[in-house]
Structure 1
Amino acid sequence: MRQNKVLGITGKMGSGKSTISSILAQNYGFKVIDVDKEYHILLEENEELKKKLTDVFGKEILVSGRIDRNRLRTLVTADRSRFEILNKITHAFIFERVSYLVLEVLKGCHTVIDAALLFEIGLHKLCSVVWFVEAEEDVLVERIIKRNGWSEKEIKSFLERQKILESYKNLANRVIVNNFDIEELKSVIRKYLKEDGLI
């Protein structure tokens, strides 16, 4: 199932995965699969997934007949066991969609899979190289507030749940510490792309 020239990028929310993906797309012509965006498309368009989620979490997650991501997030944030059930349902759908994109739609292209839960979903199986991106917690919080407008309490709770991601660091080919400026980040990316045989 492994594809050549497929780079997996993982790490906590706010670590800079999307920034690195953008640099790879703009400067090196990589096609980017943003797994968060693909998940949102599935929530919008996949009737089987919608039915499974409403069967489990109830009709209150719907607004005008569509799944409301904020309602769903609030519901699962309040209860860890619900969060695990949500992941169990959604991961199979996400893996199927990303596999299709990598193996069919983008076959032969240099591709990036940008996913916080890369290993948990099993998407690392599609990658030839995996980079783990991290940053200091205060940097993460600041970035997420700026981008998502969440409260600090909500962010801390979310990051706490993402602590498990640290255990995947050892499974990655590279660890990139992204506390520095964009130009320095670009030079680190170039170096690793060459060393990993991706360019």
Structure 2
Amino acid sequence: MILVGVTGGVATGKTTVATMFRRYGAVVIDADELAREVVKPGKPAWRQIVRTFGRQILNPDRTINRHALGAIVFHDKKKLRRLEGIIHPRVAREQERLTRQASRSNPKAVVVYDVPLLFEAGIDKRVDKIAVVTADRDTQIARLKKRNGLTRTDALRRIKSQMPLSHKRRRADYVLDGTADRKRLAEEVSKILAELRST
């Protein structure tokens, strides 16, 4: 079994690439999905987040309002680290469980872990290969404005809260252009997968 970390910057096209890996037969584990799972109302991480950041970050249905929480942590590195300290260990345990499960069903599986903070959270040490999805900053800003309704200033703050893409590119086994047309991107993904399966 091979574990591939797919990462990049915010709004570079990681999810698109991960979806293509899934289409070609890889098992995909989505870190954001796991993070949403571990912070469901009443779970230990949810209780800790509410204790740390207050009840004003909750929606009426007691779920965490990601925008309200984001507005707090993306302005303050210390608070962001505190939040990551609550969520990351739980997400890591869940990812390891799902990876073991995939390996048991198919010992030759290619498991793709779609994770925004691969390097920042030290996950790069736990994967066999790394694929970085890149995009120019203007594209990232435009996507964040459209997708998340952020202002240019907030979009930039979110981009700058992550490790620069240039650093991630240098540490990658594969670099994919998240602004390339879908057909070309799909061909790249297919080629990477073929290479991984032949190792």
TM-score computed with the length of structure 1 as normaliser: 0.86
Structure 1 segment 27-106 matched on structure 2, within 5 A: 28-44=24-40, 47-64=43-60, 65-104=62-101
Alpha-carbon offset, residue 94 of structure 1: 1.3
Structure 1 segment 137-152 matched on structure 2, within 5 A: 137-152=137-152
**CA distance in 2 between partners of 1:48 and 1:190 (Å):** 39
Give the unaligned 5+ runs of structure 1. none
**Is the 2:132–2:172 contact (alpha carbons within 8 Å) kept by the matching residues of 1?**
yes
**CA distance in 2 between partners of 1:33 and 1:148 (Å):** 23
**Is the 2:169–2:175 contact (alpha carbons within 8 Å) kept by the matching residues of 1?**
yes
Identity of aligned residues (%): 26
Change (3 A) 1:60 1:181: same
Give the unaligned 5+ runs of structure 2. none
Tell me the SS of whatever aligns to 1:33: strand
**Is the 1:117–1:165 contact (alpha carbons within 8 Å) kept by the matching residues of 2?**
no
Structure 1 segment 157-172 matched on structure 2, within 5 A: 157-164=157-164, 166-172=166-172
Give the AA of the match of 2:168. Answer: Y
Give the AA of the match of 1:153. Answer: T
Change (3 A) 1:113 1:134: same
**What is aligned with 2:177?**
177
Change (3 A) 1:78 1:120: closer
**Is the 2:57–2:68 contact (alpha carbons within 8 Å) kept by the matching residues of 1?**
yes
**CA distance in 1 between partners of 2:125 and 2:163 (Å):** 22
Tell me the SS of whatever aligns to 2:40: helix
**What is aligned with 1:115?**
115
Tell me the SS of whatever aligns to 2:112: strand
More helix by share: 1
**Is the 1:8–1:124 contact (alpha carbons within 8 Å) kept by the matching residues of 2?**
yes
Change (3 A) 1:22 1:192: same
**CA distance in 2 between partners of 1:52 and 1:198 (Å):** 44
Count of aligned pairs: 195
Change (3 A) 1:186 1:113: same
Per-residue CA deviations over 1:25-59 (Å, capped at 9, x if unaligned) read: 12x12222111111111111562111221222122
